[in-house]
Amino acid sequence: MLSSGKAGCRFCLENALLIDQPLGGNRSFYMLGSIDPTLAHAAMIIPRRHAESPFDIRSEEWMDLEEMLATAKAYLAPADPDGFTVGWNVGAAGGQHVFHAHLHVIARFTGEPNAGKGIRAVIRG
C-alpha cells in the first residue's frame, strides 16, 4: 500500500487523527462513510499518500480510483439512491477545508430538498 503522510493532516492515516474507521480501500485509496448527519448517505474516497488536491494524484493512483468508485456505489446501494453527486473541492476558494484530496460521493434522492441541484447545493461552503 502506498503511504506517505504529512504531519498534522487529519486524513493521513499515519497521524491517527480520524474519529471514524476506514470502510475499505485498496493500495492507493481508502474510504470513509459520512459522519455529517445532513449527509447520511455519503462517502469520501481519500488517497493514502498525502496529496493536497486531485492535481497531485499520480497516474498509478488514478488507475485505482475506478475500484474505489465501485466500492462507494456498493456501500451506498442499500439506500436505493436515484442518483449521485460526485466531486472534489480544490483550494480554499473552491470550498476545500481539509487540504488532503478527497472525493465526495453523495447519494441523491428524488424529493429531497436539493433534488436536481448539483454539488454546490449539497456540500457546505
Asked if residue 6 is part of any domain, the answer here is no
Per-residue pLDDT tens digits for 64-114: 999 999 999 999 999 999 999 999 999 999 889 999 999 999 999 998 887
**Residue in 120, 50, 116, 109 with CA at minimum distance from that of residue 82:** 109
Asked if residue 48 is part of any domain, the answer here is yes
What CATH number does residue 53 fall under? Answer: 3.30.428.10
User: Hunting for cell 487529519 — which residue is that?
Assistant: 10
10 Å CB burial of residue 60 (0-12, 13-18, 19+) is exposed
Average pLDDT over the chain, rounded to whole?
A: 90
Domain holding 48, by residue range, is 13-122
Asked if residue 7 is part of any domain, the answer here is no
pLDDT of residue 50: 96
Asked if residue 63 is part of any domain, the answer here is yes
Name the DSSP class of 123. Answer: S
pLDDT of residue 95: 87
Asked if residue 3 is part of any domain, the answer here is no
Half-sphere exposure of residue 118: CA atoms within 13 angstroms, side-chain side: 4
Cα three-residue angle 8-124-15, rounded to 5 degrees? 15
Asked if residue 5 is part of any domain, the answer here is no
What is the tally of structural domains in the chain?
1
DSSP for 38-95 reads GG-SEEEEEESB--SSGGG--HHHHHHHHHHHHHHHHHHGGG--SEEEEEE--SGGGT
